[in-house]
Structures are given as structure tokens and as C-alpha cells.
Amino acid sequence: MLGDTITSLRSGYEAIAGKLGLPPATPENPDAAVNAVLEWLAAENDYLLVIDNVDAPNDVVDLLPLQATGHVLLTSRNPDLDLLGVHESIDVEDMPLTEAMHLLIKRGRRQGSKPLSNKERNSVQELAIELGCLPLVLEQAAAYIRVNRMAFGTYLDEYRKLQLKLLDEMPAGIGKDQKSVRTTWAKSIERVKAKSQAAVDLLNACAFLAPDKIPFEFVTEGYSKLGETIVAEFTKGTSEIVVLNRLLKALQEYSLIRRDEAKTTFDVHRMVQSVVRDTLSKEEHTKWLDRSLKALGAIWPGQGAMNWPLCGRLVGHWLASTDHAEGKELLSAALLFTHAGIYFDERASYLQSEKLKVYSLSIYERILGPNHPNVSMSLNNLALLYYALGRYLDALPLCKRALSIDEKIYGSDHPEVATDLNNLAGLYRALGCYSDALPLHECSLSIHERILGPNHPNVSMSLSNLALLYYALGRYRMRFLCVSVRFRLTRRFMGVIIQKSQQI
């Protein structure tokens, strides 16, 4: 019987009373059936009582057979059932991927079907992952595939476009609730909302991340970007960890998240994310995506190898958010993807970096216009990537355009312009166009010296790059003067070149 509400539990007891011939409920004594069944359970010892969905033990504790001498099996999404005397529980894990694939194939194919090709088998694997290896969802998908004689690959493509709407086309034929997947999670979310709007808001933000290994710092350090209700929780004077525990506990009571204390992360099931996104309006969808992106940006640790382990905790969420942000006009996406692109540059993941940098540039151009400083920055960042790949001719027009934008904004005598000149000169040097590179390097050095002073790191960088050009021209004495006499950096020369971030 169902134990999710007092009403459903009473109904179950009344049905049992009828089967056992016990006194029924009456208007004068509405508790007659319940009391009779509880007394029977306390006296007998050869039975199995199954009570499903005991998710709110506080609501039904007085109606449960706590002194029963038989066998009682409770199912619940709430891991904390101490109130009911259940101190150890058995967690039901997700179905293993191989078993999920077997279920899809067995239930989705008709007898006599041809053996699956390797391509179709790969589609089965991807579909099982997309559906979170959740048996009831796998059953719905397999039923639709079977009835419509559809290829697994075709269904996978449609599911990626339609998500829950496609599942609703073939509800599972188990039980009376024909939309149990959607309604079960939606009901759980509503119950959490009644207790904590902030917890539901956190779930809204997490719907746009990767489902696994969401770092605690997304909440404890990024909370200021996650909306007023979450901010209010963190301004009550308690510590960040206490607030985090409070929010996650509200979600964990209904198995909406799963914590991993050892890794300081938590997971949200893919289907929960789908249900959350499906319940949001178009405006809310954009709002929570924007907040999620801003929170990810707020916890970006910065560039450099020292920060690679921290960035590694965020990579999956950066990539997941790119899919949700596609087609959206969000500056938060442009900034986050710029940061992510820098990390991928450092890890030599150039194809991933190019995708993010091109995307950032397109967002800045559409929102801020073609002559904004952020557009110039994105042009330079993309040019740096092409430089690292040896695609000098692809980088050249980007550097020229960045220089033109910064000259219009800052004038011809500005450090930003000097950096652009240096980058363009570096490209000409790489292309062997030394006569074009020389005046640009000299002009860059001159601006840096006048504006920043003779001992600024950018002056050191300009001198070093000019020395490289002199070396290429065979003017070795000029190289020596630039590096040794002026700054006495002969022993650290190559280190200066390498350490200058984002400079060609």
C-alpha cells in the first residue's frame, strides 16, 4: 500500500481490514479499521507488509506498525528514517549500464529482428546514459521504439530534441499513474518547495550543470549569483557549510540529489534535471541558466597550472552549460567560456578551446557591438589559439581587427594598443615578414616605456620579443643589448617569453 500521505495510508489499512474481516471504519469511529489492523499486525508474525513511498515519516509515523512482529518493507526516497526505527537502509543504485542496455534491447525489439549493427548498439548505450539508466524510463522508451518500429539511433536523436515530451508519447504501462516518471519527481519538488524555496531554487540552477560531481563550492562560493532566496539563506549569520547542509538535506530527503562527502560534491539525476527544466517557463529557463553561468564564473580559480585541479572539478559543468546556452544572448556565457577556453589552451585541448572562444566572440559581437573592448579581447584570445596551432594566416586578420578596435577606443598611445602591436608583430615574425614586424615591435616597446615606465613587466616582454626578431635577422649584438645590458635578463630570457600570459 502507499504511505506517501495519511489519506493513502488509511485507505490501505481499510482495504486490509476488509480482506481480514476486521471491523471497518464508521462515521462514529473513523479509526476503527486502522486500529484493528495495527492490533492484528502486533499479534501475528507470519506476514509481509509493504508500504511504498514513505517519504515524509513525520506525517505518518503514528500510523505505522512500529511494534509489528512480522516483516515490514518500507520504500522511501528519504534516506533519514531514524524516526521509524530504521537505522540502516539499502540504497537502490542506478541500473548498471550493461543491464540498462539489455533492457532497452530486449523490450524495444520485436521477435525476429535483425541483429543490431555496431552503430545501433552504440546508440543503445548513449540512450541508456541519456535516460539515466532509470528502469521505468527505459521501459517507456523501449515501448515507444517497439510500437513504432523505430531505430534506437532515431529515437535517441528525437529524445535529445524533445526530452520528456517524447516520453509522454508512450507512458509506462505499470500501475495506475500513466505519467509516473514526470509526476513522481514533480510531486517531490513540490514537497521540497513547501519546506524550502531556496532548496528548489538551488535545484533550478543545478538543472543546467552536468548531473554528476557538482562541487560544494558552486553553492558556498557562488551563492551570491544564485538569486535572492539563496542569498538570504547565506546572510542569516550561520556558516556556509551549515547553509549548504540545510539546502542539500531538503533535497536529499526526496532523493533529488545524492551527496559524496569524500569528494565534496553532489549529483542530480538526469531525469530530475529534465523535469526541472521542463517546468520552467522560457523566461525562467533563461534566468536560471544565467544564474548558473554566473555562479560558475564566480568560482573560476584563474589560469595557471596551480589551478588545474580546481578547474578540473568544473570542466564537465562548463561543457554541459555550452549546450544549454546555445542560441542564448548571455554575457555570463561569453565570460565563462572565455575563462574555460584559457584553461583548455593550457591543457592543449585546442579544438575544445576554439569552439568556446568562437562562441564567446559571437556573443560579445551580438550584444556589445563590433567595436567593444571585449570584442577586441576575444579576437586576441582566438588569435593566440591560432598562433599556437601554427594557423598564422587565420590569426592575422583577427590581430589586425583587434588593433583597429583598440586604436579607436584608446587612441594610438595606450598599453592595450601596444599589446596589439606586439601580437601582430609576433605573427609577422612567425610568417617570416621581418620588415613588417620590426616597426611594430619598436612601436610597442616605445609605448610601454612611456606609459608604464622602464621597469614594467610589459617592457621586459617587449624587449624580449624585439630581441627574438633581432636574432632572426642575425643582429645578435642588438639582441644582447636588449636582454643583457638593459634588463640583465640573459639567464631568464626564455622564461620571460613563456610566462607572459596571453601574449604572442
Summarize pLDDT for 228-276 with one digit per residue, the tens: 999 999 998 778 999 999 999 999 888 889 999 899 999 998 889 989 9
Average pLDDT over residues 48-54: 82
**Residue 72 phi, psi dihedral angles, 5° rounding:** -125, 125
- Averaged confidence pLDDT in the chain: 84
The pLDDT of residue 497 is above 70: no
Query: How far apart are the C-alpha atoms of 447 and 461, rounded to whole Å?
Result: 13
Query: How far apart are the C-alpha atoms of 165 and 187, rounded to whole Å?
Result: 18
Residue 28 confidence (pLDDT): 80
Residue 85 confidence (pLDDT): 72
CB 56 within 8 A of CB 63: no
Burial of 497 (0-12, 13-18, 19+ CB in 10 A): middle
Domain ranges in the chain are 6-84, 97-167, 184-295, 307-499
Cα 5 to its chain centre, rounded Å, is 34
Q: Is 151 helix (H, G, I), strand (E, B) or coil?
A: coil
Question: For residue 148, what are the contacts with CB-CB under 8 A and spacing of at least 6?
Answer: none
Task: Calculate the alpha carbon distances from 50 to 1, 76, 287 in Å.
Answer: 6, 11, 43
Query: How far apart are the C-alpha atoms of 158 and 151, rounded to whole Å?
Result: 11
Residue 130 confidence (pLDDT): 87
CB 9 within 8 A of CB 3: yes
Summarize pLDDT for 56-68 with one digit per residue, the tens: 777 777 777 767 7
Average pLDDT over residues 102-107: 89
Task: Calculate the alpha carbon distances from 80 to 28, 84, 93, 249 in Å.
Answer: 36, 9, 17, 10
Question: For residue 410, what are the contacts with CB-CB under 8 A and spacing of at least 6?
Answer: 416, 417
Share of the chain above pLDDT 90, in %: 44
Query: How far apart are the C-alpha atoms of 58 and 38, rounded to whole Å?
Result: 18
- Cell numbers for 408: 579607436
Query: How far apart are the C-alpha atoms of 258 and 298, rounded to whole Å?
Result: 24
Share of the chain above pLDDT 70, in %: 90
What sign results for the dihedral spanned by CA atoms 334, 340, 345, 346?
positive
Residue 440 confidence (pLDDT): 93
List the single range of 176-185, 381-390, 462-471 with lowest mean pLDDT.
Answer: 176-185
The single residue listed with the C-alpha cell 533492457 is 103
Q: Is 1.10.3720.10 the CATH number for 307-499?
A: no
The pLDDT of residue 102 is above 60: yes
Confidence category of residue 89, pLDDT binned at 50, 70, 90: confident
| 476/452: higher pLDDT | 452
CB 140 within 8 A of CB 103: no
Residue 115 confidence (pLDDT): 84
Residue 486 confidence (pLDDT): 46
The pLDDT of residue 173 is above 50: yes
- Cell numbers for 462: 617587449
Summarize pLDDT for 195-227 with one digit per residue, the tens: 899 999 999 999 999 999 999 999 999 999 999
Average pLDDT over residues 327-352: 90
What sign results for the dihedral spanned by CA atoms 419, 420, 422, 426?
positive
